[in-house]
Amino acid sequence: MSARRENLLREMGLGPVWKLRQPAEPETTLDAARVAPSAVASEPASAAAPPGCAAIGSMDWGQLGAAVAECRACALCKARKQAVLGVGDVNADWLFVGEGPGAEEDERGEPFVGQAGKLLDAMLAAIELKRGSDVYIGNAVKCRPPSNRTPEPEEIAACRPYLQRQIELIRPKLIVALGRPAAQSLLGGEVKIGAARGQLHAYAGIPVIVTYHPAYLLRNLTDKAKAWEDLVFARKTMRELKP
């Protein structure tokens, strides 16, 4: 392991765990046994357009950004400073989906720019990825939930057509769902991270890997080792997808 990688893992609080418990990457393969058939999402329903907009399902990036900025589909629009569409490489192979903007993201208009974002950047770096380079970062909801509460299922549902269109436009090879709202938006129904992680799910035929949200990891240091396993699984899956 390079010194740089070791430093990054240490920043994530993973260095010793990696050395003691994971001398080699876990044996994770893309075989059928690891695919969770029950969690494979059906083809998503086509999006309803807000009044005066082209159908979300046929929007380009400019139209999508404008529609999200003007969106009034749920109550989250009332308190937002701005909607936060996403950031990164629109042709990325990797898509990371979080929960929703927090105070700093609402202020700056970019996802994951606060403390959780720093950890996300370290997690990306640990698997040799970088924000903006073959990586796109978005959220299940585009507007900040008041007091950073978890978005309600109706809010996630109202915003899903935008995420769906982002996925159609990006056409990522692999999606990483960060936390429960992201996993629920992508996979539908109730998802428990502890049960869903370690398996390969799918959204519209695209492999989805579920892991803990960086903000949760900041509060629950012991689960960082599991998040590291998930990242290794994701990297291995991607390698198998594009040898």
CA distance linking residue 2 with residue 126, whole number of Å:
11
Beta strands 174-178 and 86-88 are unpaired
Residue 124 CB, shortest distance to ligand URA, in Å, is 14
Residue 107 CB, shortest distance to ligand URA, in Å, is 11
Place of tokens 């990054």: 8
Binding mask 2-41 for ligand URA (x = CB under 6 A): ----------------------------------------
Residue 98 or 172 having the CB closest to ligand URA: 98
Residue 115 CB, shortest distance to ligand URA, in Å, is 9
Residue 52 CB, shortest distance to ligand URA, in Å, is 27
Closest residue to ligand URA in the complex (CB): 98
Residues ≥6 apart with Cβ < 8 Å to 230: 176, 197, 198, 209, 210, 211, 212
Residue 178 CB, shortest distance to ligand URA, in Å, is 6
CA distance linking residue 36 with residue 103, whole number of Å:
35
Place of tokens 């569409």: 85
Residue from 28, 139, 164, 237 binding ligand URA (CB under 6 A): 139
DSSP letter assigned to residue 112: S
Residues ≥6 apart with Cβ < 8 Å to 10: none
- Cα angle: 100, vertex 126, 181; to 5 degrees: 20
Place of tokens 């700056």: 108
Residue from 116, 159, 167, 208 binding ligand URA (CB under 6 A): 116
CA distance linking residue 210 with residue 200, whole number of Å:
8
Residue 135 binding ligand URA, by CB under 6 A: no
CA distance linking residue 34 with residue 147, whole number of Å:
37
CA distance linking residue 218 with residue 141, whole number of Å:
21
Residue 88 or 111 having the CB closest to ligand URA: 111
Binding mask 189-228 for ligand URA (x = CB under 6 A): --------------------------x-------------
Binding mask 85-114 for ligand URA (x = CB under 6 A): -------------xxxxx--x-----xx--
The residues binding ligand URA (CB under 6 A) are 98-102, 105, 111-112, 116, 139, 215
